[in-house]
Amino acid sequence: MSIHSEFVINNFKLQCGVVLPRLILAYKTYGQLNQNRDNAVVLPTFYTGSHQRNEGYFGKGRAVDPARHFIISINLIGNGISTSPSNTDSPFGGAHFPVVTLYDNVRAQHALLTRHLGVQGIALVTGWSMAGCQSYQWAAQYPDLVRAIVPYCASAKTSVHNWVFLEGVKAALKADGRFDEGNYRSPPEEGLKAFGRIYAGWAYSQTFYREGLYRVLGFDSAEALLLDWEQDHLNWDANNLLAKLDTWQRGDISDNNLYNKNLEKALGSIRAKTIIISCSDDLYFRPEDNELEVIHIRGGRHECFSSPWGHCVASGQNDPGFHEFLDQCIREVMD
């Protein structure tokens, strides 16, 4: 496992009012902070992501390059590496883990950058899926600090349809009798497998399945792909999955005292140079939603990348053309 660092915040008060005695943010840095302390690139993690998996989005010669940038890859609260249901002591462990929002995550990340790492300016916040949602959050929550954002396959506010999709996978997991309202003594394996099987139907597009693109991934049938998703989700703690899912469902950059649920005001507050990237076939972060967002962001632009890979267009090297397009957009906002 890639070695990471930990930043501890004592008595961290969440938006829900709960005070966590000890919040741990796990993170890893790459490159060096420049003399002006303003070349930071923040890479939050996505739903089942980690700082290791973010390493596929930067590198030598790429738009985000540790030779030029100070890259901070930060694990989402609830992902099993930062503070999570699976690693938190009583009374907040397991099924009793409190509600955590993206606002909470970004406030903790801000403390890491400014109080611990000495960052005075953020050149870019970017990321896929929930990481992209945090890009919006950063730009609205700290508009004077962030110079550019490139969220991809993400949104500023979780749509109702996206929320409904997540209700489906959540219900499948909770239906396992072994789940016991989160108080399981052994993993609810049938629920975890159902979660993964349903999720796979949303992660890729109809065209992906019709054209048999699962063969590109090494599977000879759609069923083989589903079995792989089942096995992958057996590696996850159920309460961790649900904690992050709840954070995702509550995603709304305006749901705080800064904007009082006025989404247009929150979007209008963004001063960062912004390019939003959607995927034509993403089944839950729809291009139409991004179009409605970008009209409120001064100077913002929406680019829709056409691909049958759907939401998973940005995962690994599924669609190398996407990574080329992503780098092109990042270079533009950072120019």
Catalogue the active-site residues.
129, 282, 311
Query: What distances in angstroms separate CA 315 from CA 70, 89, 128, 201, one per listed residue?
Result: 23, 33, 9, 15
Q: What is the DSSP letter of 51?
A: T
Cross-strand partners of 226: none
Residue that the structure tokens 């108080």 belong to: 183
Residue 72 burial class via C-beta count within 10 angstroms: exposed 0-12, middle 13-18, buried 19 and up: buried
Q: Are 162 and 156 in contact (CB under 8 A)?
A: no
Q: What is the DSSP letter of 213?
A: G
Which helix (H) or strand (E) segment is 279 a member of?
strand 273-279
DSSP, collapsed to helix, strand or coil, labels residue 23 as strand
What residues have CB less than 8 Å from 145, skipping those under 6 apart?
110, 121, 122, 138
Q: Are 293 and 113 in contact (CB under 8 A)?
A: no
CA atoms of 265 and 259, how far apart (whole Å): 7
Angle, vertex CA 85, rays to CA 129 and CA 261, nearest 5: 50
For 263, phi and psi rounded to 5 degrees? -65, -40
Q: What is the DSSP letter of 128?
A: E
Nearest to 323 by CA among 152, 204, 129: 152
CA atoms of 275 and 205, how far apart (whole Å): 23
Q: Are 43 and 113 in contact (CB under 8 A)?
A: no
Q: Are 297 and 267 in contact (CB under 8 A)?
A: yes
